[in-house]
Structure 1
Amino acid sequence: MIDQIIPLEEYERRRRNTPRFRRINTNDLMAKQFDPIRWIVPDYLPEGFSVLAGRQKLGKTWLALDVALAVATGGMAMGAIRVDVGDVLYLDLENGERRVQRRIETLYPDPRTRPDLSRLEFATETIPLDKGLIEALDDWRLSVPNPRLVVIDVLQRIKPPGRSTRNAYEQDYTAWSPLQRWATEHGIAVLGLHHTRKGGADDPLESLSGSNGLSACADTTLVLDRNGNGTTLYVRGRDVDEKESALDFSDGLWTLKGDASKLRVSGERQAVLDALLDAGEPMSPSDLAAILGLPNGTIRKRLFDMAKAGDIVREDRGRYRHPDTPSNISNVGNVPAKAHENQGLTVSGGGNIGGNVTDNAKGGNIDKSLNYNDFSINVTNVTKVTGD
């Protein structure tokens, strides 16, 4: 079939009415100058829309308040990271003014030493995203000299109702997109608090309550969790390197301890050292595996790595000891003098290497090795005596 030929004027008219991409040449793109990423908490919280998720009563609000206070005062976030000062809006939609006051008093009990907190403002009105929240945020942005951070505690309170024509993923992604666009456009961090589902997930981002639409829309996701290894803060995002950090929580204060994986390895090695020190003698991998409740293969690799690093000492027959525990040879002590059953040897000097041995046989000088309790003693300067 031959394509229909249309007049040039008609072609141009159709072309003007057809949606077109606004394209950019790669060379032009590479020549552009962009502002650097604006970090609210360096390496953890950049500009854009971020989600802080965790189980109930785990301390999410305390952590968000920690960050908000640090930014408002130009202090230290999580007791370890210096942040730039700026204006903060905290939308507390669950606790109310009285509880907020008590929490700040917990952190700063003495009014005389309390820093200036005027750059941190609170609001408790719930304005859904589809009922003017963006406009209200813009009003705050224009009213302060240096807007840096908005905290929304919790996101569920501002989520608009869904539509029956959309699935759960579409509902969540569509709901949070305006917030993400506003934060990105103005270089402000919006930190929304959210819950994780019961039972967790292999991937921390999949542990967020609801669909994956929220974590897909968010620029950064932070997951606060606690297990047998302690409390951790997992971070993943478009502008932040993936990391998992260990945290301590005490009296309302969060303290950053460092890389969780390194501390976890350190704790695992410390368990081996403690077990060896308690034993006071060399132990086999099987014995250590039973004490620590670990698979035999796991403990063997750990022992090999620790011995290679000089953390522990490998003894004979594949056993290991704590470096503060004396070796087997030095623990033998003085062996009581006794006659050797086969050679008629008597030992003086006990287990000390190089002790004097007398052989009740005829002849001149001989060299022998005497094994006593699996320890080898080199015997020299043996004196022959006459007799039957």
Structure 2
Amino acid sequence: MTRKISTKRRNTRSPKKKPVRSLASTGLQTFTANDLQTMDFPPLNFFVEGLIPEGLTLLAGKPKMGKSWMALDLAMSIASGTKALGERTTKKGTTLYCALEDNQRRLQRRIRHNYGNQDAWPSNFHMATQLNKFDQGGLEQLEEWIDEHRPSLVIIDTLVCIKPKSDKGNGYDADYGALAPLQELAGEYGIAIVVIHHLRKLRGDDPLDMVSGTTGLTGAADSILVLDRKSHGTTLYGRGREMEDIDIAMQLEDGLWQILGDSDAVKISSERKAIIEVLENAEKPMGPKAIAEALDQPEDNVRQLLTSMARDGEVKKEGRGKYITP
């Protein structure tokens, strides 16, 4: 069964001198709170522990950050039932990676680079390099494939390759409408669909504000993952309707992404290492001000960190307000 998308805008304005129909005549289906209390729902599936639940996930990052490498690892890990991103447990199942900005030669080279010449690459890991835009039959193509193969994960890389060309109308409506059918499709089949997208150039206080486009995109998605490069390294921030907020440090090494740990903890750890390196290279004990100047960091932050490091035995106080390595 394929979903027919109507391109006609429904006229919701009531004709003049025509009485408004009651809700009872519209066929509105409702349920009571008492009904809801006794309903039994299956547990929510996480296909990648804590990161990729069933539903629609928008994964956004700046160009050339390695989003496609991450997509490849997610698809391969679920298809083979191995850990994703170095440490996250996966639920094994069929996967589809729509690498719409790549070709077969490049995909073969990347898989061979990351996973070597195994006896056989997973036969349940499917790939496509072409998919019609959704207003040109692409959604029907995708649903037919999903209905036939019943995958666990579908990745579309990238959104711009399948998004219908919007008219000069409401940008929010166009963005929401581009993802809403995928959100519905993921819910209908109980699968995870991940759409790769870009970040805008301007930074924002809220990572979700950096997603290129209107809030219609983040509003339509069940979960949003933002891959961002900051001064202390790369982080993956996540927020969703069915997942806890995450903020983890990431590292891309030779084509494979690795989770390093909680972003704040990794940041503090790297700052401690930097302080130890400065003290080891110093010819005499140093105070917080001199260390802060050497690292181009706020003096108050360095002072507080030195207190903690002294308590943990990582540095030793030498004289009045001076520090050395033990």
Normalising by structure 1, report the TM-score: 0.73
Unaligned runs of 5+ in 2: 1-20
Give 1:22's aligned residue: 30
Deviation (angstroms), 1:115: 4.2
* Cα separation, 1, equivalents of 2:278 and 2:22: 80
| Aligned partner of residue 78 in structure 1, secondary structure | coil
For 1:384, the equivalent position in structure 2 comes to none
1:148 deviates by: 0.4
Name the SS for the 1:76 alignment partner. Answer: coil
Compared CA separation, residues 18 and 152, structure 1 to 2 (3 A): closer
Cα deviations by residue, 1:216-257 (Å, 9 ceiling, x for unpaired): 211111112223322222211111211122222233222222
Q: Using the alignment, how far apart are the partners of 2:315 and 2:269 within structure 1? A: 14
Which residue of 2 is the match for residue 304 of structure 1?
A: 307
Aligned to 2:142: 137
**How far 1:126 moved relative to its partner?**
2.5
The one-letter code matched in structure 1 to 2:135 is D
Q: Secondary structure at the match of 2:225?
A: strand
Instruction: Show the counterpart of 2:295.
Output: 292
Deviates most, 89-98 or 312-321: 312-321
Using CA pairs under 8 Å that are at least 6 residues apart, name the structure with larger relative contact order, 1 or 2.
Answer: 2
Name the amino acid aligned to 2:256. L
Structure 1 stretch displaced more, 303-312 or 146-155: 303-312
Which structure is larger by alpha-carbon Rg, 1 or 2? 1
- Percent identity over the alignment is 40
Question: Counterpart in 2 of 1:335?
Answer: none
2:127 pairs with 1:122: yes
CA contact (8 A) 1:134 1:182 kept: no
Q: Which residue of 1 aligns with 2:266?
A: 263
AA at the equivalent of 2:160: Q
In structure 1, the partner of 2:228 is 225
Give how far 1:18 is off. 5.3
Whole-Å separation in 1 of the counterparts to 2:23 and 2:114: 64
The residue identity in structure 1 corresponding to 2:25 is N
Deviations 1:261-295 (A, max 9, x none): 11110111122222222225432222222222222
Hey, what's the Cα distance between the residues in 2 that align with 1:203 and 1:281? 43
Closer/same/farther in 2, CA of residues 314 and 21 from structure 1, 3 Å limit: farther
**Are residues 1:158 and 2:162 paired?**
yes
Equivalent residue, structure 1, for 2:47? 40
Q: How many Å separate the matches in 2 of 1:61 and 1:255? A: 14
Structure 1 gap segments, 5+ residues each: 1-12, 325-388
Paired residues, number: 306
Measured in 1, the distance between the counterparts of 2:81 and 2:28 equals 46
CA drift at 1:21: 6.1
Structure 1 distance, partners of 2:24, 2:295, is 74
Distance 2:178 2:64 in 1: 26
Distance in 1 between residues matched to 2:105 and 2:273, nearest whole Å: 44
Single out whichever of 253-262 and 41-50 deviates more from structure 2: 253-262
- Which is further off, 124-133 or 85-94? 124-133
Give the letter for the 2:297 counterpart: L
TM-score (norm 2): 0.86
The residue type paired with residue 266 of structure 1 is: S
Task: Tell me, yes or no, if the aligned pair for 2:133 and 2:139 is still in contact at 8 Å.
Answer: no
C-alpha contact 1:248 1:256 (8 A) present in aligned 2: yes
Q: 2:90 aligns to what?
A: 83
Residues 120, 32 of structure 1: alpha-carbon distance in 2 compared, 3 angstrom cutoff: same
- After superposition, the Cα gap between the structure-2 partners of 1:19 and 1:230, relative to the gap in structure 1 and judged at 3 Å, is same
